[in-house]
Structure 1
Amino acid sequence: MISDSTVQLGHGSGGQMMKRLIDEVFLDAFEAPELHAGNDAGVAALPGTGRIALSTDTFVVTPHFFPGGDIGRLAVCGTVNDVATSGARVRYLSCGFILEEGFPLDDLRRICQSMAETAREADVAIITGDTKVVNHGSADGVYINTAGVGEVPEGSSLSGAACQPGDVVLVSGTLGDHGIAVMSQREGLAFSTTMESDAAPLNHLIAAVLDASPHVRCFRDPTRGGLASTLNEFAAASNVEIEVDEEAVPVKPEVQAACEMLGYDPLQVANEGKIVAVVPADEAAAALEAMRANRYGADAAIIGRVRDAGESGPCVRVRTPWGSTRILDMLVGEQLPRIC
């Protein structure tokens, strides 16, 4: 149960506090079964037109510009990826801006150009939007909301509740890049190499994996809460145990070093250009090859397997290089606020 009487930063973490907020406030109020499914996009039927996938997200990252991206690229990538995880062909986006009085117009133009370029890369169109301006001091320069809609192919039914014992878990590349890039920029941390965000539209990569592995169980982009939150959500929804091989998880040496210095687990750090996929074992090699053939999947890897939950119930375990295992849980509070 939520013990706080007011909203805390931890309620936006992607971890346990956020899950309780969603379960006990939002899901308690809203009854749509598509929402209660707990996926990144809601899939629903429209009479006479088949099924659509719809998702929305709001971006409040600070700073607005960081190595490898900016709030505009992030806003397009985040929603494109959320819609694409349903197996949908992403078609259209909306964008809503909340601007603080005094925000530089040159920065706004730069953000809009970044959004336009990213939308072209993803082959989607931004077709509607909204603008609000608030008093100076009432916001942090600019917040952006995007919503996206796509067509879901007939017969597609991807869901985090579809994982089965024997399935294989893949990630499309190195973990923790975005969270550490934003944190290092925000805090002025100096490292020997420049850390860049991984923000990228992954709809084409996801489509390639679906072509190669027609029985994909689910996709999820491990944003807030990182891989840990994503896999725990899968385990709970499917009532399974997921075991991760720690040595198989791709993490850049500089990200690993930064996490060790800051006391973070890279498996809990946010990503904005990576996908987690769960596929049947006999399709794992083909799915991996499809990921690696895409520019954003060069470092893709098979990192774990799905097992029976057993008496201990659904959980995520990490097998260490020494042969022992540890429980990988969701974040409890806020690790890196305002990173997306």
Structure 2
Amino acid sequence: MNADLAVRASRFAVFPVEDYQGYVDRHPDATPYHRSGWLRAAEAGYGHTAWVVSAHRGDQLCGVLPLVEVKPPLGASSLVSLPFCDLGGPLADNEDIRYSLIEAARKLASTNRSNGVEIRVSGEPVDMSKAAEPLPAKVRMLLDLPESSEALFKQFKPKLRSQIRKAEKNGLTAEIRQDPAAIEAFYEVFADNMHRLGSPVHSLAWFSTLAQAYGDNLLISLVHEGTTVVGAGIVLTTGTRACIPWASTRAEFNHLAPNMLLYWTFLSHLADTGYRQFDFGRSTPEEGTFRFKKQWGALPTELTWQRLEPAGRPATESRNSSGTVSATSRIRRIVETLWQRMPLGVANWLGPKLRKYITL
């Protein structure tokens, strides 16, 4: 069936970026993470090698699979589609081509002596009313946006509308920007929040290169209490879709509800400028972040992260994006506590050196 199909793996640095981005722009399943900017930032910000597995019929591009090769100082590398975000995976004209792309990625893993390929994809919508069925470990929360912010505000429940007004009544203001100074303001809040959570922080260089690579497809929202930035977030866009990979607030100002104004500022802007779907990102069903996103009207869709063996060996069992066992959770809590006790300056220096190898 695919006798005339040519599939090959190329380094992103030599692949025609306009061809790759053009295919992403045309594909109905493309996410903001599929944009060429994510691969650019992975290379420029962290020094990873990015790859594109592509399928062609003659001169016609009919499928792409973006990959980032993450190689730690010790051990074999991994090919991930895509690291540092919820999903990536192949985009193809049909399922046969999709399968061919994945098989070519497994061959690339064997050639590069990588320990495997991880494909992160979105699954089916989750019906939370079916109590007899086990819930997936992780979901992405999706909200369909109406034609205007006015229509969006009207569809919110009264409690949510009052929480948004509370932030405004508390004197908070918000703005959307795209300049380098806004990235630095975001990073100050983000790094402080990651330290509080006990998690290694991304580097400022990662966000700066991401902003350069995405251009107008990256938005920054800053929430102010007077002259102090108390909340900040980043949204990525493509076509009529938008997603929010990072949002943070300063804990000492949370009683003023900066998070509510942060999200409302993004959502209202996106609705008014023609975006029709907002991805709130990854959550565990029924936990705190899940309930926060659900109150905006977002609905869950399963996330599946599948680990594939190299060298044509059978794929391991598909797993949801959790994969955490109790012993690992206990170790993680210990590490988080130690990280929280580390001086902020030390954490901000050490964190990026570790974070570049943590693909979550």
TM-score, normalised to structure 1's length? 0.25
TM-score, normalised to structure 2's length? 0.24
Decide which structure has the larger Cα Rg and report it.
2
